[in-house]
């Protein structure tokens, strides 16, 4: 704030604001003009290359980049035109000057940029809604859903459970009852839990061998990652770990 007051004091005392001389300002203006010209030439070369790439590929990403380069050229032209207009006053046609040309140019540029951006969005949506894009979206959506189900432990199809039950029932003649057969996804394969009922007076070694051989037989199936066989002597109780699945 103090600096602002000092500036006003200098203007009152000297009649001008201290700073760069007229020659320094002209030199700076010439440097800025040269830099703008170099930038415009580089943007034109880049724009031409992107136009060629867009025509050859038809890629929306390259087209969007091409439009971005076009906007760079357009913004440079608008800035040059507004600066030129403000430096060439016409008191007869513009009595209050052309100082508002710059915000007007920015407004025009912003409108063009918004229009082109909206056009890119609409074209992208149109291509996304084409048959090929819908097929791709549907395919990947089903893939995602399938993998989610495989991670949350989804039960196998009833037909597959029936096949496992049949395998367990015919595994050994000593099996009296099939209490539980579960198969659920664990990644890309199944975990299987089987409860079989054997005679209560069967020796432990024989019962163990029957259960172990059934486990090995189940794990020979290509869809099964791991099998767990539980041995029991009756089936009047609740299924094993039933509370965990309630």
β-pair type (177-186, 189-197): antiparallel
pLDDT of amino acid 243: 44
> What DSSP letter does each residue of the chain carry, written as one string?
-HHHHHHHHHHHHHSS--S--HHHHHHHHHHHHHHHHHHHHHHHHHHHHHHHHHHHH--HHHHHHHHHHHHHHHHHHHHHHHHHHHHS--TTT-TT-STTHHHHHHHHHHHHHHHHHHHHHHHHHHHHTSHHHHHHHHHHHHHHHHHHHHHHTPBPPHHHHHHHHHHHHTT-TT--EEEEEEEEEETTEEEEEEEEE--TTS-HHHHHHHHHHHHHHHHTSTTEEEEEEEEES---SPPTTGGGG-
**d(Cα 203, Cα 219) in Å, to the nearest integer?**
25
Q: Sketch the domain layout of the chain as residue ranges.
A: 2-129, 152-245
To the question of pTM greater than 0.85 for the whole model, the response is no
> Crossing angle for the helix pair 131-152 and 101-128, nearest 10 degrees?
70
Residue pLDDT tens, the chain, 246 long: 555 455 455 544 554 555 556 677 677 767 877 887 787 788 888 888 888 888 888 777 787 788 778 877 777 777 777 777 777 777 777 766 666 666 777 777 777 777 777 777 777 777 666 657 666 667 777 777 777 777 778 899 999 999 999 999 999 999 999 989 999 988 778 899 999 999 999 999 999 999 999 999 999 888 898 999 999 988 876 665 544 444
Pick the CATH number of 152-245 from 3.30.360.10, 3.30.70.1350, 3.40.980.10, 3.40.50.300: 3.30.70.1350
| CA dihedral of 170, 175, 181, 186, whole degrees rounded to 10 | -80
């Amino acid at each position: 704030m103090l600096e602002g007051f000092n500036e006003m004091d200098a203007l009152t005392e000297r009649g001008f604001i201290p700073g760069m001389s007229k020659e320094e300002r002209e030199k700076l203006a010439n440097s800025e003009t040269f830099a703008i010209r170099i930038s415009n030439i580089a943007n034109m070369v880049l724009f031409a290359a992107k136009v060629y790439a867009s025509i050859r590929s038809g890629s929306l990403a390259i087209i969007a980049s091409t439009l971005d380069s076009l906007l760079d050229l357009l913004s440079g032209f608008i800035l040059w035109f507004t600066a030129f207009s403000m430096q060439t006053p016409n008191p007869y046609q513009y009595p209050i000057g052309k100082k508002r040309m710059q915000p007007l140019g920015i407004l025009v540029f912003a409108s063009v940029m918004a229009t082109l951006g909206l056009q890119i969005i609409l074209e992208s949506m149109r291509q996304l809604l084409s048959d090929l894009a819908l097929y791709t979206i549907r395919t990947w959506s089903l893939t995602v859903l399938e993998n989610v189900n495989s991670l949350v432990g989804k039960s196998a199809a009833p037909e597959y459970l029936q096949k496992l039950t049949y395998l367990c029932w015919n595994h050994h003649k000593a099996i009296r009852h099939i209490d539980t057969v579960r198969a659920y996804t664990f990644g890309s394969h199944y975990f299987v839990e089987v409860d079989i009922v054997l005679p209560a007076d069967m020796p432990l070694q024989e019962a163990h061998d029957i259960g172990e051989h059934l486990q090995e037989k189940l794990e020979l199936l290509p869809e099964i990652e791991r099998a767990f066989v539980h041995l029991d002597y009756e089936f009047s109780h609740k299924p094993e770990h039933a509370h965990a699945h309630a």
